[in-house]
Structure 1
Amino acid sequence: MNSIEANNCTIHFNENCYTALNQHLKSRNFSKVFILVDENTHQLCLPRFLEQLETSAAIEIIEIESGEINKNIDTCVGVWNTLSELNADRKSLLINIGGGVITDLGGFVACTFKRGIAYVNVPTTLLSMVDASVGGKTGVDLGHLKNQIGVISNPDMVLIDTQFLSTLAQNQMRSGLAEMLKHGLISDLKYWNKFQDLSKLSLDDLDALIYESVLIKKNVVDIDPFEDGLRKTLNFGHTLGHAIESYFLSHPDKKTLLHGEAIVIGMILACYISTVLTGFPKETTQNIKQLFIDYYGKETIDEADYQPIMDLLKYDKKNNHGNINFVLLEAIGTPKIDCLVDDAIILDAFEFYAS
């Protein structure tokens, strides 16, 4: 697969990854190379990565604990302190090997340490390959509120080695697939139709689908890197999805949802709201709901949960001037941004999901 140029950042795939990285290491002559991992990628991904690495620079491994619960400023402080103790300087390179938590947090650490050092992202989950790998968003959560602190700054390069997908559990694969389904809904009926029988998808199919998904997001981000307009469409399903994810993360009686699991619920809710406000076909909404529930199952969201989830909407990053802005669909491939939605319609959407 050919490499993709995206806003001063090149995305390399499979066999091109390590050739490009080694050339980059040689040409930039970094003083030190730091590699950020969690306990899972340290064991499952780092050995393969180090086998491909060619550099005379000193290499230091920094490990943090996995999971969204550790994507916070305290973890950043720990990594900053470690970089400082290991004598990282402005000419150091940070390589982030992991899922979205690692690439988001590692990118933020790199952008802020000594006012910015170079970094490279090596996404190892399907979700991070098709979502976090493109667009330069970095950052951490504020308490249980998603991605409240961060900056937009691109890495030197992104390396997508799909062999790492073999290390993932099925629920992690499904979580990443949710973002690919979203790309189809907001951009391309033809791409969406490729997912109509999810049971038949194989790992061999994934390479081409991942490449297409990366291209879809890349084309959006190229036009609108700072989310002033078109890039907001990438948040389809995320307004309520993030609120549900945050609520389940903070509620002691709820299980923790993976990002994609929450976004699937958010997309079903957004499709229902679209039938009410933008004329999105009811039959299409029903078909989308059935496809998602058949593949992901249905989470229990009690009536008592509705209002606390809705209260979290005020923290959504798309909000402005006190308005909660939704991304809705007029048709598959035709999103509409900055939609205002009455609470009564959101409550009806929850009932539709539960029915």
Structure 2
Amino acid sequence: MKPIKSTDYSIYFNADAYQNLNSYIFNNKIDTIFVLADENTNTYCLPIFKTKISKDISVKTILIKSGEINKNITTCVNVWKKLTELEADRKSLVINIGGGMVTDLGGFVASTFKRGIKFINIPTTLLSMVDASVGSKTGVDLDNLKNLVGLFSNPEMVLIDTSYLKTLPERELKSGVAEIIKYGVTFDAELLDKIEHDKWKNSEDLDAIIYQSIQIKNKVVLEDYKETGLRKVLNYGHTVGHAIESYYLDHPDLKRLLHGEAIAIGMVVEGYISNQQYGFPQNKLETLKQYILKTYGKVTIDKKHYASILELMKHDKKNIKGTVRYILLKDIADFIIDGEASLASVIEGLEYYSK
């Protein structure tokens, strides 16, 4: 697969990825790399990674706890302290190996340590490969509010090695599929058709689907790097989905939702609003809903939680002057940016998902 050129860095695939990494390490005379990983990637991915890099490189591993609940400033402080303890300097290189939580937090830590040191991302989940690999977003959550603190910062490169996907539980793999559904609904009917026919379950087809998804996101990001217009469309399903994810994250008595599982619900709800306000075709909405229910199962959202979920939506980054904004649809690949909807419409959408 050819490299994909993004904003001042390139995304490399499979065998080419490590060739380019080793060349970078050699050309920049790097003798030590600081690898950020969680307990899962430390066990399943780091051993693979170490076989792919030059034997002359010293690898110092910094471990963090997995899970969105640990994507916070407290974890950042611990990593900054560890970098200091390990004598990292402004010439150091951090390599973030993990899902979006690791690459988001690791990029933020590197970009702010000593006013910025270089970093490389190696996403190991399907979700992070098709989403966090492009766009240069780094950041962490503030309390239970998603990605409220962060900055745009380019990595030196991103490496996509799809062999890491073999280490994932099926639930994690499905979580990544939700972001691909988003690309299909908003930009590419052919891609959506591949997903709805479960082509992603075949590894060869999945490689092509990942590449196609990255191309879509990269095209959008190159046109609108700072998310002032077109790039907002990549948040389809996220206004409602992030609020649901945050609510469940903040209530340990409820079943934990993965990011993609929450976004899948958000896509159905925002699809319903689109149907009511812009005539998004009923048959396409129903097909989307049924595929999401088949893939993820139904999450029981108690009506008594609706008010709290709606309140969390007020903190969405896309909001303008306190008004909640949505990505809404006229049809597949025909969207409205900064759409508005009444609270009653959102509640109706949640009811549509649930019934």
TM norm structure 2: 0.98
Partner of 1:234: 234
Rate the CA distance shift 1:131–1:13 in 2: closer, same or farther, 3 A. Answer: same
Residue 54 (structure 1) aligned with residue 54 (structure 2): yes
Distance 2:156 2:252 in 1: 40
Partner of 2:281: 281
Rate the CA distance shift 1:19–1:145 in 2: closer, same or farther, 3 A. Answer: same
Deviation by residue 1:252-301 (Cα, 9 ceiling, x = unmatched): 33111000000000000010000011121112111110111011110000
Equivalent residue letter for 1:184: G
User: Deviation of residue 193 (structure 1)?
Assistant: 1.1
Distance 2:27 2:86 in 1: 23
SS in 1 for 2:337: strand
Deviation by residue 1:213-268 (Cα, 9 ceiling, x = unmatched): 00000000000000000000000000000000000111233111000000000000
User: Deviation of residue 200 (structure 1)?
Assistant: 7.4
Distance 1:60 1:253 in 2: 37
Rate the CA distance shift 1:199–1:53 in 2: closer, same or farther, 3 A. Answer: closer
Distance 2:346 2:87 in 1: 52
Equivalent residue letter for 2:179: E
Residue 103 (structure 1) aligned with residue 106 (structure 2): no
Equivalent residue letter for 2:221: V
Residue segments in structure 2 that go unaligned for 5+ positions in a row: none
Distance 1:199 1:9 in 2: 30
Partner of 2:309: 309
CA RMSD of aligned residues (A): 1.1
Residues 31 and 56 in structure 2, CA contact (< 8 A), matched pair in contact too: no
- Superposition pairs of residues 122-201 of structure 1, within 5 angstroms: 122-198=122-198, 201=201
The number of residue pairs the alignment matches comes to 355
Percent identical residues: 51
SS in 2 for 1:195: helix
SS in 1 for 2:151: coil
Partner of 1:250: 250
Partner of 1:266: 266
Residues 194 and 200 in structure 2, CA contact (< 8 A), matched pair in contact too: no
Distance 2:270 2:29 in 1: 48
Rate the CA distance shift 1:199–1:18 in 2: closer, same or farther, 3 A. Answer: closer
User: Deviation of residue 199 (structure 1)?
Assistant: 7.3
Distance 1:145 1:138 in 2: 15
Worse-superposed segment, 255-264 or 196-205: 196-205
SS in 2 for 1:12: strand
Deviation by residue 1:153-180 (Cα, 9 ceiling, x = unmatched): 1100000000000000000000001101
Distance 1:320 1:164 in 2: 39
Distance 1:24 1:336 in 2: 42
User: Deviation of residue 31 (structure 1)?
Assistant: 5.5
Distance 1:140 1:236 in 2: 20
Residues 40 and 66 in structure 1, CA contact (< 8 A), matched pair in contact too: yes
Partner of 1:327: 327
User: Deviation of residue 69 (structure 1)?
Assistant: 0.7
Residue segments in structure 1 that go unaligned for 5+ positions in a row: none
Distance 1:199 1:5 in 2: 26
